[in-house]
Each structure stands twice: as structure tokens, then as C-alpha cells.
Amino acid sequence: MLTQDEIKQLVAKQAAQLVQNNMIVGIGSGSTVYWLIMELGKQVKKGLLFQAVPTSKKTAALAAQQNIPLAELNDVNAIDLTIDGADEIDPNLQMIKGGGGALLQEKMVAAASRELLILADHTKLVQHLGQFPLPIEVIPFGWKQVQREIRETYQVEPTLRMLNDQPLVSDHGHYILDCPFQKIENPDILTYELNGIPGVVENGLFVNMADLALIGFPDGRTETMHK
């Protein structure tokens, strides 16, 4: 049986084969994407020519180490394919993302993409979103007001994400509230409501964005889920 890391390597290797010459490719964030970048680095050494639009500073640094040519989102008209991971994914390809703190850039790059491919191991498959705490990116000014409104509206306890006893600061200077909704019945409604709260920059619900998902299993199988 494969370990979780080996499953991630398996799906990353398959996904890397989809990247072709002259494509503009969005590169997500997270542990599975690490293996994707390693695979794409090997392809670049063999002569593959493409440009990558990274979704975080960490992804950009890792891709640069592999000599993958980088582009800014502002410098491209559209992205041919974005490959990213997920923290939860349901049967309709609705997702929770942002466990790594890069949800704003991930969503912007996904929205600019002609196709969004999600890589995940079988543990990320759920019937209903919400067991994984939903990340909500907020501006630091007045963040406790946002926390209070979410708490009172939804009867959940948003937790400020910390790093080394300080609030974790996103690439764009924001804080992240992790919200344990447990079971999200209508992600399309919730994402709209949350983004309407003053002070909320973006939330980690990715609704109707993924086109397909490549899921890996411990026995070495992979399955493709389509929209």
C-alpha cells in the first residue's frame, strides 16, 4: 500500500504529463503541489517550455529553484490550465481550500483559468464540506468585529490562525480566521454571504470552479472526477 506522500507523488506525476509546450500554467500551493513542481522541474530539464503563474511566494520560490519560468497574473490574458490541491472536495467538485494560507491568490488564478485540475488523495473526499475548518481571509483592521459577526450569524467559533505566537500574515498582509462549520449545506450561498461581510477579503470555498479532480488511492489506483 502506498503512503500518503507516495499517493501525492503518483497524482502529481500524472498531472505533470498534461503540461505541454507554450502553455501558461497556474501552479497552486500545498503538499501535493510540491511534488507537481518537482515533476515539472524534471520536464523542464528535458526541454519542456511553459510559463508558470504561482499562487504563493512559497510556490514561486520552489518553482524558481527548479528553473521553471515564472509569470505574473497581471502579465497574462488567460491561463490554460491551473493545477492545485484541496483540503476537502465533495462529489460535485465543490471544495474547501486555503489550509496553506494562499486562498486569495489561488482563487484569483483559478478564476483566470480555462481549466482547473485538482489533485488530492482519497482522504480529502467528503460527502459534505465543513469538517475541515473554512479559512476566511480578513484585513487586520477590525478583525475581531468580523470574528464576532461570523460567530453570531453562524454559531461557530472562528479562530485566528497563529504562527510562532503571532497572527499568521498572508502574502498580502491579511489575517486568516479558521471557521469550524462542521457541515456546509449550501456552499454557494455561504460563500456569497461571507464575502459580503465588511473586512472579509475572500473565503476558502471554491464553488463551481474545478473542472476535474485526480484522486489517488493507497492501492495505486487513480480516479478522475469530472464536473
Q: Is 142 annotated as a binding residue?
A: no
97 labelled as ligand-binding? yes
85 is in an annotated binding site: yes
As a whole number of angstroms, the distance between CA 63 and CA 37 comes to: 6
Sort 23 into a burial class: Cβ within 10 Å, 0-12 / 13-18 / 19+.
Answer: middle
Owner of C-alpha cell 476566511: 136
- Is 210 known as a binding-site position? no
Residue 106 annotated to the active site: yes
Does the annotation flag 98 for ligand binding?
yes
100 labelled ligand-binding? yes
Q: Which of 88, 106, 137, 202 is catalytic?
A: 106
222 is in an annotated binding site: no
Kindly give, in sequence order, each residue whose CB lies less than 8 Å from that of residue 154, ignoring residues fewer than 6 positions away. Answer: 179, 181
Query: Is 130 assigned to a binding site?
Result: no
Q: Measured in whole angstroms, how far is the alpha carbon of residue 140 from the centre of its chain?
A: 22
Q: CA 52 to CA 37: how far, in whole Å?
A: 10
Q: What angle do CA 27, 30, 34 make, to 5 degrees?
A: 70
- Cite the annotated binding site for substrate by residue number: 29-32, 84-87, 97-100, 124
- Cite the annotated binding site by residue number: 29-32, 84-87, 97-100, 124
Positions marked active-site: 106
